[in-house]
Amino acid sequence: MSHEYVPEIATDREGNEHVVQGWQGDFYGGKLGFWMFMLTEVLMFGAMFLVLAYYNTLHPQDFIDASASLNRWLGGTNTVILLVSALTMGLGLLKMRVGDVKGAKLMIWATILLAAVFLIIKGFEWTAEYNHGIFLMHDKLLVGTENSLPFGQKLFFGMYFTMTGLHGFHIIIGIGLMLWLLKRINAGKVSQDHHILYWNIALYWDIVHLIWVFVFPYFYMIGAGGVTGGH
Amino acid sequence: MDTNTIDYKKERAGYYKVLIGLLLLTAVTFIQPHLFMTESNFLAQMLIAVLKAWMILMYYMHLKGEKLIIWMVWFALSIVLVFFIIVIGIDVANFNNAAGSYITSAPNAN
């Protein structure tokens, strides 16, 4: 069974044939549409950062104390992993654009592997925090318990689990998209001449990376270096 | 726009240069709290993040030279700025129920 890209043909009144401009062929339109989608992502995470900033102004010292208790090395490792994965995704797209399909697929698998490692590290981190009594609706984040954290720290960790959780969910979706992309490449639907899907999934991966670029310092670094508030 | 008219080696070299830049900035993220702007940790961290974001947007997301998309991004961000920060900011600054709100009235509550 052939999987070659077959364009749709429309015939005008004079009998002339024209290639119908589908989403595969409308490169700029496809890209522009995806940028609009990404702006909705910015709106969603932007609102969360706004809430975070507001809570931070109410409880600056609690935010610094809570941040200082996070594992900076695990967060930093995940930062580097995402950074390298953005490179592998970009190089894969570059390889596809010059017709190296095998190399492009290899780079997608490398990105998937890095994404999985990111999630595993995040899983270890969350597990360690749970074992220390810090998790949503659990032990130290409950109101009125013996070990209960100060109110500002509760707000901090509430936002931390919400935002890193939502970001992790985006990573999982990214892995799904990359697997789908591999399927489309194998079916010949994505190729050197028709690579808008690859372009947009690479953009998606970059926005996931971009969000982490702000999530990491806000949660992990504001309490670093023994700062005592008033930031 | 023909995206296949590319100089592979040049673009690949560009990707690696950006990677090195981002890795260096990540290293700066770690050493900054001990080295400089220690009293303005939050500001320094956000400035580094903005710099990293700019590199990702311009080079990895190929925004460099994309006038229409850049205009669209700035327009959307301006709307976010106006509504989220100015409109909601004014509303929050003039919050009349601070005493009745658990979050604003219980800063030291456990």
Closest chain B residue by Cα to residue A152: B107
Q: Are residues B3 and B26 in the same domain?
A: yes
State mean pLDDT over A15-32. Answer: 80
Residues B99 and B71 in one domain: yes
- Of the pLDDT bands very low, low, confident and very high (cuts 50, 70, 90), residue A230 is very low
Q: Is B108 on the interface with A (CB under 8 A)?
A: yes
The answer to whether A206 contacts chain B (CB < 8 Å) is: yes
Q: Which of A20-24, A73-77, A139-143 has the least mean pLDDT?
A: A20-24
Q: Confidence band (pLDDT; 50, 70, 90) for B4?
A: low
Q: What is the tens place of the pLDDT at every residue in A116-150?
A: 999 999 999 999 999 999 999 889 999 888 889 99
Type of residue found at A93: L
Does residue A93 contact residue A198 with C-beta atoms inside 8 Å? Answer: yes
The reply to whether the predicted model has a pTM over 0.90 is no
Per-residue model confidence (pLDDT) at position A179: 98
B75 plus B44 within the same structural domain: no
Residues 6+ apart with CB under 8 A from A98: A192, B4, B6, B8
Structural domains of chain B, count: 2
Mark yes or no for CB contact A213/B80 under 8 Å.
Answer: no
pLDDT recorded at residue A122: 98
CA distance A147 to A139: 7
> Residue type at A142?
L
Same domain membership, residue B47 and residue B20: yes
Q: Are residues B21 and B60 in the same domain?
A: yes
Q: Are residues B41 and B2 in the same domain?
A: yes
Domain hosting B101: range is 66-110
| Closest listed residue to residue A93, CA positions, set B70, B23, B4, B22 | B4
- Average pLDDT estimate for A80-106: 97
Least confident of A83-87, A137-141, A162-166: A137-141
Q: Check CB contact under 8 Å for B33 and A149.
A: no
Interchain pair A94, B8: CB under 8 A = yes
8 A C-beta contact, residue A79 and residue A118: no
Q: Lowest-confidence range among A22-31, A77-86, A161-170, A219-228?
A: A22-31
**Contact (CB<8Å) B110/A35:** no
- pLDDT of amino acid A143: 83
- Averaged pLDDT, A24-42: 87
Is residue B94 less than 8 Å (CB to CB) from chain A? no
Contact A206 B56 (CB under 8 A): yes
Mean of pLDDT values over A42-59: 91
pLDDT of residue A175: 98
Q: Based on the domain organization, do B11 and B49 belong to the same domain? A: yes
Using CA atoms, how far residue A138 sits from A106, A142, A146, in Å, is 42, 6, 12
- Could you tell me if B48 and B2 lie in one domain? yes
Written as one letter, the residue type at B36 is F
Same domain, B11 and B35: yes
Q: What is the mean pLDDT of residues A88-97?
A: 97
Please answer yes or no on whether B110 and A150 come within 8 Å at the CB atom. Answer: yes
Q: Which strand (E) or helix (H) includes residue A18?
A: strand A17-19
Quick one: average pLDDT of A41-58? 91
48-77 in A: which are within 8 Å (CB) of B?
A: 50, 54-55, 58-59, 72, 76
Does A2 score more than 80 pLDDT? no
Residue A231 predicted with pLDDT over 50: no
Q: Which of residues 12-71 of B touch A (CB under 8 A)?
A: 12, 15-16, 19, 22-23, 26, 29-30, 32-34, 38-43, 45-46, 48-49, 52-53, 56-57, 60-61, 68-69
Indicate if B4 and B52 belong to the same structural domain: yes
Mean pLDDT, rounded, for A55-61: 92
Residues of chain B in contact with residue A90, where contact means CB-CB under 8 angstroms, are: 15, 60
The verdict on B50 and B90 lying in the same domain is: no
State the nearest Cα–Cα gap between B49 and chain A, in angstroms.
6
CB contact under 8 A, B42 and A203: no
Query: Where would I find the H helices in chain B?
Result: 8-35, 41-55, 67-80, 88-93, 102-105
Does A146 lie at the interface with B, CB-CB under 8 angstroms? no
Q: Mean pLDDT across chain A, nearest whole number?
A: 92
- What CA–CA distance (Å, rounded) separates B16 from B22? 10
All structural domains of chain A, each given as residue ranges with its CATH number in brackets, are 44-221 (1.20.120.80)
* Phi and psi at residue B39, to the nearest 5°: -85, -10
Q: If you average pLDDT over residues A27-36, what whole number do you get?
A: 89
Q: Give residue A28's pLDDT band: very low, low, confident or very high (50, 70, 90).
A: confident
pLDDT digits (tens, 9 = 90+) for B6-53: 889 999 999 999 999 999 999 999 999 999 998 899 999 999 999 999
- Per-residue pLDDT reduced to its tens digit, B55-81: 999 999 999 888 888 998 888 888 878
Same domain? B53 vs B82 = no
A47 at B interface, C-beta within 8 A: yes
CB A225 within 8 A of CB B41: yes
Residue B110 confidence class, pLDDT cut points 50, 70, 90 = low
